[in-house]
Structure 1
């Protein structure tokens, strides 16, 4: 895992098409802006996990 320190309005670039911007830092919370190509799904971890669980259930039913 790469760990970076960034300040408000600084960016992190991943590959050629993904840019993460630090929008706001408030206490222990950080707001991120994520720019990614439309074919790259971007989800919070808990949403991603729910999507995977649902996909597993759908595969079992088939």
Structure 2
């Protein structure tokens, strides 16, 4: 993990097209501004993990459906 120290209005750049700027520091909260291309998804970590969990559950459901379809056709033959 890279650890950087930044002050308000200072930025870091990721790759060629993502810039993260410290907008404000207030107590234990830091406000960040993120400038990135529209095709880059940006989520808070807890939201990202929730999306990943839902995607994994959806994949498992599809697998079960495919297994049932395979069983159905095996019984028919």
Common fold by TM > 0.5: yes
The 5 A counterparts of 1:22-37 are 22-37=22-37
Pick the structure with more strand per residue: 1
Unaligned runs of 5+ in 2: 63-77
* Structure 1: unaligned runs, 5 residues or longer: none
Shift of 1:24: 0.5
Relative contact order (C-alpha < 8 Å, sep 6+): which is higher? 1
**Greater fraction of residues in helix:** 2
TM-score normalized by structure 1?
0.97
Larger Rg: 2
